[in-house]
C-alpha cells in the first residue's frame, strides 16, 4: 500500500487579497487509486504546456509584487497620516520633547505593524506560489525536479572544489624589449623558450627566472619557438620566411629551413623528433627532414593564411587552422585532407589535438573556443566568454582544463566536461598573446604585449 497526500482548500481574506490555503491529510490508497491519480497528473501535464506554466507563474509573481507594493505604500501613508493628525490635534504649548517622543513612538508602532503585516502577507504569498507550482506541475514531478536539481548543483560544487586547480601570479620575467609572441615549456619543465617581435628567442630557467640563452640570428619578427621532444633543440619560426633549429645547451644554430615564400607563423616537432612541420602566410604547410633540411611534403588546400599546424600524438595526422575559417585534418602519409571542420565565423588561430587524438580544440577571432570530434568532424562543444580575439589556447596535461589568452586582456580557464569558465585572470592594460601549461600542470605561463612573461602557480 502507498501513502498519498490530499489537500483541503480554505479561503480567507488578508489585506484585500483572497488567499487560498490547503491543509494536508495522509491516508492509504489502493494501487488502482494510485494509477488514477497518476493518470490525472499526466492529463494535466499534457494540457498545460511548458510555455503556459511559465506564463502563469510569471503572471502570479507580477501580481504578488504589485499587490505587495500597494499594501506597503498604503500602510506607510496611513502611518504618516496618523502621525500628522496627532501633531495637529495637540496643543501648541505642549512640551516639544514630549510631542517628539510620542510622535516617534506612534510612527514606530505603525512601522512595526506594517512590517508584521507585510511579513504575514509575504509568507502567505510564498505558500500560495508553492501551491500554484504543485497544481501546475504535480507534486511528484516537483519533488523529483528539486531532487535532481539539488544533486546536479551538489555534483558541480564538489567536482569544482576537488579537481580544479586555481592559479595565482608567482613570478614576472623581464628581458624582451617588444611584444612576446609565444612561450613554451621544455618537456622536462625546467626551462621556458620565448619568441618576440624584438627578433630574439630567449631560453629561461624556471626556478631562478634568469635568461640562459639569447638567440639572435633572425632578421624579422619571431612568431613561435618551441623545444624538441628530447629538449636538445629549439625551433623558431620567423617573418623572415625561415625556420631555424638551435642547440639548446650551446645556443648555436644547427639548421636553417628555407622554402616558404611568406612569413612562417607556426611550427612543431614530430613526436619522434625526426621531422618539423610548418605553416605560412604563403598558404602552404611543409614537412621537413631535420637532418637534411629538405622539404618532404607540401600541403596547400587552404584558401587563406595558415595560422597553426599541429601533429597528433601518434604522429600520423596533422591539424591546421586558417584565415579561411576552416580546420583541416590531414593524413600525413598520403598528404591529403581527411576532414574539413567548419563552424567558426572568422579566422581560426589555433587548432590542437587532445592527448588521445579523439578531439580537436580550436580558437578563433570570432571569440569562441570549440571542441570537435575527429572521426565525425562535428562540433561537440562551444565556449563563450571572451570579448575579443582569442590568441592562444592550451590543454592541461590531464585534458580536463583549457587555458585561453585573448586581446581582451584576460586569461581564462575552462572546464572541458562542465563546459564552463572556472577562473579568469585579468592583466588590465595589455593583450595576452601566448599561454602554456608545465608538464605537471602546476604552473601556467603567459606572454603579452607589455614585453613580459608571467608565471602562474597553482594554489
What single string gives the DSSP state of each residue in 430-458?
Answer: S-EEEEEE-TTSSEEEEEETTSEEEEEEE
Residue 63: its pLDDT value, please?
53
Residue of 456, 425, 458, 454 lying closest to 180 (CA atoms)? 454
- pLDDT given at position 70: 57
At 66 the pLDDT is: 60
C-alpha cell at 54: 511559465
Q: What pLDDT does residue 83 have?
A: 45
Question: If you write DSSP's letter for every residue of 155-188 in order, what string do you get?
Answer: HHHHHHHHH---EEEEEEEE--SS-EEEEEE-TT
- State the chain's maximal CA–CA distance in angstroms: 112
The CA distances from residue 26 to 11, 33, 102, 136, 142, in Å, are 21, 14, 52, 21, 18
CB 67 within 8 A of CB 61: no
**Per-residue confidence (pLDDT) for residue 342, from 0 to 100:** 98
Mean pLDDT by 10 residues, the chain (459 residues): 41 42 40 48 45 48 54 52 46 48 49 47 56 51 54 56 76 97 98 98 97 97 98 98 97 97 98 97 98 96 97 97 98 96 98 97 98 97 97 96 97 94 90 97 96 94
* Residue-level pLDDT at 165: 73
Q: How far is CA 171 from the centre of its chain?
A: 25
d(CA 290, CA 417): 38
- Domains for the chain: give ranges and CATH numbers: 2-90+98-162 (no CATH), 166-458 (2.130.10.10)
Read off the pTM.
0.67
Amino acid at each position: 500500500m502507498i501513502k498519498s497526500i490530499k489537500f483541503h482548500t480554505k479561503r480567507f481574506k488578508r489585506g484585500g487579497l483572497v488567499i487560498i490555503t490547503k491543509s494536508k491529510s495522509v491516508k492509504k490508497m489502493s494501487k488502482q487509486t494510485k494509477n488514477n491519480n497518476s493518470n490525472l497528473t499526466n492529463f494535466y501535464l499534457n494540457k498545460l504546456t511548458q510555455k503556459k506554466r511559465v506564463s502563469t507563474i510569471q503572471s502570479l509573481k507580477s501580481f504578488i509584487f504589485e499587490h505587495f507594493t500597494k499594501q506597503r505604500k498604503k500602510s506607510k501613508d496611513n502611518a504618516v497620516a496618523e502621525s500628522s493628525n496627532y501633531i495637529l490635534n495637540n496643543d501648541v504649548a505642549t512640551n516639544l520633547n514630549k510631542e517628539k517622543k510620542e510622535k516617534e513612538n506612534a510612527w514606530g508602532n505603525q512601522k512595526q505593524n506594517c512590517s508584521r503585516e507585510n511579513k504575514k502577507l509575504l509568507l502567505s504569498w510564498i505558500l500560495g506560489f508553492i501551491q500554484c507550482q504543485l497544481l501546475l506541475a504535480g507534486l511528484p514531478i516537483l519533488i523529483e525536479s528539486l531532487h535532481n536539481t539539488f544533486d546536479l548543483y551538489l555534483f558541480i560544487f564538489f567536482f569544482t572544489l576537488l579537481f580544479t586547480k586555481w592559479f595565482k601570479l608567482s613570478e614576472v620575467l623581464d628581458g624582451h624589449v617588444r611584444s612576446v609572441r609565444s612561450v613554451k615549456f621544455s618537456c622536462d619543465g625546467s626551462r621556458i623558450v620565448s619568441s618576440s617581435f624584438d627578433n630574439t628567442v630567449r631560453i629561461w630557467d624556471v626556478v631562478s627566472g634568469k635568461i640562459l640563452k639569447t638567440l639572435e640570428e633572425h632578421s624579422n619578427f619571431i612568431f613561435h619557438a618551441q623545444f624538441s621532444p628530447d629538449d636538445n633543440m629549439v625551433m623558431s619560426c620567423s617573418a623572415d620566411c625561415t625556420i631555424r633549429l638551435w642547440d639548446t645547451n650551446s645556443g648555436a644554430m644547427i639548421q636553417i629551413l628555407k622554402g616558404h615564400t611568406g612569413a612562417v607563423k607556426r611550427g612543431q616537432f614530430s613526436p619522434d623528433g625526426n621531422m618539423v612541420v610548418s605553416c605560412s602566410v604563403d598558404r602552404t604547410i611543409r614537412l621537413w627532414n631535420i637532418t637534411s633540411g629538405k622539404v618532404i611534403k607540401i600541403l596547400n588546400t587552404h584558401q587563406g593564411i595558415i595560422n597553426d599546424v599541429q601533429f597528433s600524438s601518434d604522429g600520423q595526422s596533422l591539424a591546421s587552422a586558417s584565415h579561411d575559417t576552416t580546420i583541416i585534418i590531414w593524413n600525413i602519409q598520403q598528404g591529403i585532407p581527411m576532414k574539413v571542420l567548419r563552424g567558426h565565423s572568422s579566422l581560426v588561430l589555433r587548432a590542437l589535438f587532445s592527448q588521445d587524438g579523439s578531439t580537436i580544440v580550436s580558437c578563433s577571432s570570432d571569440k569562441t573556443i570549440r571542441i570537435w570530434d575527429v572521426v565525425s568532424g562535428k562540433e561537440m562543444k562551444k565556449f563563450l566568454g571572451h570579448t575579443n580575439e582569442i590568441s592562444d589556447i592550451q590543454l592541461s596535461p590531464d585534458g580536463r582544463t583549457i587555458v585561453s589568452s585573448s586581446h581582451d586582456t584576460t586569461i581564462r580557464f575552462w572546464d572541458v566536461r562542465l563546459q564552463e569558465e572556472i577562473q579568469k585572470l585579468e592583466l588590465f592594460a595589455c593583450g595576452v598573446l601566448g599561454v602554456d601549461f608545465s608538464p605537471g600542470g602546476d604552473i601556467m605561463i603567459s606572454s603579452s604585449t607589455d614585453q613580459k612573461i608571467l608565471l602562474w602557480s597553482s594554489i
